[in-house]
Structure 1
């Protein structure tokens, strides 16, 4: 019996380590994914896990949604609610499926969701959990402009100008209302009226970037001969400044440039997310080999550092390149580097927030 215990303990220890590594990879992927990962407990009828991305898509606090499951069903579009609940019951009965439906957020906007749902069974084959991966598939054409602050007449004139050019426009009468809604707004450009009298308006771009909210700001205002207002707005992070009165062409050019930047960032972020998920899927040993490669190590030097043979390093290297979808070592390094970097919006926030300090 003692012999059996001695032989079993290392296996159990290794199994525990593998389980811990698997949980770490899951958490790393879930918390960095722009899709919503969720797990529902069939016995308690409560969400057991919900990833942070739900706050951006559903426009609700993760804690609130986890605390009250009915908040999720309330957000289902009335025309889709019955169908989605039937699909969900089917998953609890053992079905795996993909479902597309709409949700209506608190701000009244509608988003299309594609949810891949599947059951999780216990050792007896009974469904104990339902889980899924929900993606926002709403088509945002990058044509949404938020008009913020300024007088009523000015906001109406600006709205007509932008709508005449084909943009969708949402108006915020105050900076405070805009900042409160900003975390859950669909990506777009903000046109902000700033005033030398109210210095708080000038800090809006910096506040957005500090909270990692990707809404570029085009500032407008009356300098009245004082170039300081324009300088302050640009230092605060506005991508452009237009002095009132400005021409229609000048405003539309500034808005178009801002929205083009959003589309470029979105493409970059999707690629970075894919790279991050691939890196997160690597085993602990594969990540150690990867870090060795990123430092310029060879199979021999990496093997010596990790206490394994160069041949074993080569095997791990081949596995990680396959997981990264890379055909050459330089390609693997580029993809891994992208997967280890913060997102474009995070980099932009850091650059904008710190870049003016030395000027």
Structure 2
């Protein structure tokens, strides 16, 4: 008999067809062997301890505490507390903030521009000799005036350093904030052609770059590069965090060039370190051939799927986000958004390409996941579908 954990005196939500609530649960090795009453769990206790007769619960707890009864049995008295099935996060981008926690400057939860600048200075001080600073987590909510619609100015980061490129992604992932050195490093200025669906914000007074890149314009900047080993360490930290929240399964949504890649999951599985079930989805770009991209996703499914990792989903991005003024709306944004009187945002896909992508994904047995924030983006996607 394998190691057993027996939970008694609990409120156990089974989420079965009757939404029944039970009071006892028995885990035998890595399987749930029983859910029911305290009396029913008593049989497992007796069997595990090879007792000739039943032992009173209080006497059992006392015997276990004192060491009089030895074995592979752990009994937990929850005293009326709740047990839930493992939670499923249905939209997440692992390793999430764990990669930032380990290798970048974290701006999550900071309430002012000065706090952001102090965090960046401290990061540079801790990482002497660093040639490029990457980070994530800033919020538009800490800015005022034109910076609410355009995003933060480059001059804030120039105050921190004019010698080291600084590239900071917003907490929602849709905007990059750069200093002047970063614009220089990646050859981006007011004359740079902007990718379809993207936005290089320009200062209306100087006609120079403002400080932010939005949506597909983000790809003008090279992402921070990390080894598979670093991604694995970040995922292990991510997994630890998620387990603390009770999350045991996720829908992982990533691109081909960022996020946890399939070979990292395979390494985790081979080393018996993957402890949550992964339903994997991959984004396809409006600017590339949808057939070729979905075939690449199919190849991932053919080569990497296992019990704990399943390639299930194709993701389409129809627009951006309203806070970045890149959501696609039916009615124009208000003048306060700073985009003129007839600006509605942009729908990212060619209407002729969408049915090709949707039908191909459907034929290959993939679920279709759509990012559509603005009402025009959602209406258009529903019309096409």
TM-score band by shorter chain is under 0.3
Q: TM-score, length-normalised on structure 1?
A: 0.26
Judging by fraction of residues, say which structure has more strand.
2
Judging by fraction of residues, say which structure has more helix.
1
